[in-house]
């Protein structure tokens, strides 16, 4: 099966890797230009090299995974069976991307979006085929969950197809009805926002907040380190969707989160967030 991944950032490249390392899948990893797409593949190569260096994988296996990933712009997806869109969290960009894709790909090609909180129903408006949410978690090659989200016009057949694909790449799918933030982000992102608030109130240091939640709640990483991993811009965007869709004050983004995003302190991807990665 040929998978077209739209967007070669953290999620897009992770999704591409998750497919390429499973037998029976080939991947088109795409972005707005060849350079960005190649950059996504380079990220995968770097991660695989680390595994080779640790003796967890041999070089031939790493090369075989990379050989299954072709990079370029979305125009290379002409014979894709499934598109997974992982572009930036902007409704207009996602809708426009699918509109352009429906002119390029076969009529049988299925459309899925990895949006972390936007409405699947709205993304699918005006398209010639239905859209479904196929929501991966960061780091996508490692995290076992996929939220499968049906929008207002998503048929059960498409849900069943995506559930099957998720299982084939070794993931555990859960079925979720459309709602802002779905399940995981509705719980996780307000928790990260609360950790920002605790830090801003001077209750504890960044390190102690994270240690508290790692050792006191058995989380694999603390909420502020997790915010840096996800990207503080992504966390803010999700908080804003939760708030704008519900107008419930419990979802109001903390001013410090917004300030850090405005300052370009987005976490790992910019080298600084709550921690310094330089
Ligand atoms: N890409 C590929 N593989 C990766 C990776 C990456 N970015 N990061 C880690 N790994 C692999 C490592 O290679 C390692 O594999 P092996 O065991 O085969 O060697 C394995 O994952 C464990 O990694 P480490 O030993 O380096 O570190 P760890 O045990 O501390 O685990 C972690 C790292 C998996 C990130 C773990 O800390 C964790 O699970 N953190 C929580 C992550 C989380 O909650 N993600 C969800 C975010 S929410 C989201 O993504 C949704 C959204 O819409 C915002």
Domains of the chain by start residue, with CATH = 2-177 (3.40.50.720), 184-270 (1.10.1040.10)
Residues involved in catalysis: 116, 135, 147, 185
What is the C-alpha separation between 103 and 141, in angstroms, rounded?
A: 30
* Gap from CA of 130 to ligand 1 centroid (Å): 32
pLDDT at 169: 98
pLDDT at 131: 98
Tell me what the mean pLDDT of segment 122-147 comes to: 97
Indicate if the pLDDT at residue 11 is higher than 90: yes
Q: For a substitution probing ligand 1, which of 140, 142, 191, 215 has the most ligand atoms within 8 Å of its CB?
A: 142
Q: Is the Cβ atom of 11 under 6 angstroms away from ligand 1?
A: no
Residue with tokens 């849900």: 159
* pTM, 2 dp: 0.94
Q: Is the Cβ atom of 15 under 6 angstroms away from ligand 1?
A: no
Q: Concatenate the DSSP letters of all residues of 62-116 into one string.
A: HHHHHHTEEEE-GGG-TT-SEEEE---S-HHHHHHHHHHHHHHS-TT-EEEE--S
As to burial, measured by CB atoms within 10 angstroms (0-12 exposed, 13-18 middle, 19+ buried), residue 245 is: middle
What is the C-alpha separation between 95 and 276, in angstroms, rounded?
A: 35
- String of b and e for 196-206 (b: at least 16 CB within 10 Å)? bbbbeeeeeeb
Indicate if the pLDDT at residue 117 is higher than 90: no
Reported ipTM: the value is 0.93
Q: Reply yes or no: is the peptide bond before residue 139 cis, omega within 30 of 0.
A: yes
* Gap from CA of 44 to ligand 1 centroid (Å): 14
Q: Is the Cβ atom of 188 under 6 angstroms away from ligand 1?
A: yes
Indicate if the pLDDT at residue 128 is higher than 90: yes
**How sure is the predictor about 101, in pLDDT bands with cuts at 50, 70 and 90?**
very high
pLDDT at 232: 97
* Gap from CA of 246 to ligand 1 centroid (Å): 31
pLDDT at 203: 98
Indicate if the pLDDT at residue 127 is higher than 90: yes
Q: For a substitution probing ligand 1, which of 139, 224, 236 has the most ligand atoms within 8 Å of its CB?
A: 139
Q: Is the Cβ atom of 115 under 6 angstroms away from ligand 1?
A: no
Residue 148 in contact with residue 132, Cβ under 8 Å?
yes
**How sure is the predictor about 59, in pLDDT bands with cuts at 50, 70 and 90?**
very high
Tell me what the mean pLDDT of segment 47-76 comes to: 97
Share of residues in the chain with pLDDT > 90 (%): 99
Tell me what the mean pLDDT of segment 245-252 comes to: 97
Indicate if the pLDDT at residue 271 is higher than 90: yes
DSSP code of 276?
B
Strand partners, 272: 267, 276
Residues with Cβ within 8 Å of residue 15, at least 6 apart in sequence: 5, 84, 86, 114, 136, 140
Q: What is the pLDDT of residues 160-177, one digit of tens each?
A: 999 999 999 999 999 999
What is the C-alpha separation between 222 and 210, in angstroms, rounded?
A: 4
Q: What is the pLDDT of residues 184-200, one digit of tens each?
A: 999 999 999 999 999 99
* Gap from CA of 221 to ligand 1 centroid (Å): 10
Indicate if the pLDDT at residue 27 is higher than 90: yes
Nearest CA to ligand 1 atom 44: 226
**How sure is the predictor about 253, in pLDDT bands with cuts at 50, 70 and 90?**
very high
pLDDT at 48: 97
């Amino acid at each position: 099966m040929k998978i077209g991944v739209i967007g070669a950032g953290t999620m897009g490249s992770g999704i591409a890797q998750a497919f390429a390392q499973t037998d029976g899948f080939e991947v088109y990893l795409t972005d707005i230009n060849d350079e960005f797409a190649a950059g996504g593949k380079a990220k995968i190569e770097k991660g695989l090299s680390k595994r080779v260096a640790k003796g967890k994988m041999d070089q031939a296996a790493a090369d075989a995974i990379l050989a299954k990933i072709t990079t370029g712009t979305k125009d290379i997806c002409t014979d894709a069976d499934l598109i997974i869109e992982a572009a930036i969290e902007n409704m207009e960009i996602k809708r426009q991307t699918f509109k352009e894709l429906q002119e390029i790909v076969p009529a049988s090609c299925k459309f899925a979006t990895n949006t972390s909180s936007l409405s699947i129903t709205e993304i699918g408006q005006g398209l010639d085929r239905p859209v479904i949410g196929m929501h991966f978690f960061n780091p996508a090659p490692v995290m076992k969950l996929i939220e499968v989200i049906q929008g207002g016009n998503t048929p059960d057949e498409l849900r069943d197809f995506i559930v099957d694909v998720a299982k084939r790449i070794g993931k555990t799918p859960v079925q979720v009805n459309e709602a802002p933030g779905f399940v995981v982000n509705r719980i996780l992102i307000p928790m990260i926002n609360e950790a920002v608030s605790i830090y801003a109130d001077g209750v504890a240091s960044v390190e102690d907040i994270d240690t508290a939640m790692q050792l006191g709640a058995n989380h694999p990483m603390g909420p502020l380190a997790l915010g840096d991993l996800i990207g503080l811009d992504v966390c803010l965007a999700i908080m804003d969707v939760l708030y704008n869709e519900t107008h419930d004050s419990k979802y109001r983004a903390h001013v410090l989160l917004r300030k850090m995003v405005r300052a370009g302190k987005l976490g790992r991807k910019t080298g600084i967030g709550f921690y310094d990665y330089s």
